[in-house]
Amino acid sequence: SFQHDAVNGLVDVLKDNGDFDTAKLEFMGLRLSYNATDHQIRRAIAVAFTKRISQLVENEKMGAPEAAAQTFGLSGVETFLNEVAIGSEKSEDDQVEFLTCLQKDLVHRVNGGIVLAAISQKLYQMDVLEEDAFLRWWEESEELGDAEDKEMKRVREKTRVFIDWLKEAEAESSEEESD
């Protein structure tokens, strides 16, 4: 299936510190041959990155921030994410969907909450995901309340410190603008 082939191919590229220009071409080829949707693309990319970072945390005994930094620090990753996962328009809807895909996959991983927090911070630092997307993702999850799956809530909870920091920074910049 598309998911299996796309995830395994991308994990191999991540393991081998591979060429993301070639990965992009292979990904697009898979997309065309399976007629994959944008959601399927985002989901496969999210799963590949969470799988690789989780492998580094669990098997290599690396800290989640270090594993995220190593994985997202590979040459070409930022361009790949911006062009293939999020899209050049950087739609807030697409960014929120990508965050949700990351969260859903991390429910099934041992250190999911810690990995989600590390990934979130790294993607923000890289300007792949924007502040407004993080805040909207968080607010939409909060609005679900008890309807949200307990595991989804558990994984998301470790990201609260980062979200609080974003909210505080936003409040400070609003105060500066009004002054």
Residues 98, 42 contacting (CB under 8 angstroms):
yes
Tell me the pLDDT band of 175, cut-offs 50, 70 and 90.
confident
Q: Give the global pTM.
A: 0.92
Q: How far apart are CA 148 and CA 109, in angstroms?
A: 18
Above 80 in pLDDT, residue 148? no
Residue type, 37: T
Q: How far apart are CA 101 and CA 134, in angstroms?
A: 13
Tens of pLDDT, residues 91-121: 999 999 999 999 999 999 989 999 999 999 9
Tens of pLDDT, residues 34-56: 999 999 999 999 999 999 999 99
Q: Quick one: 151 exposed, middle or buried, by C-beta within 10 A (0-12, 13-18, 19+)?
A: middle
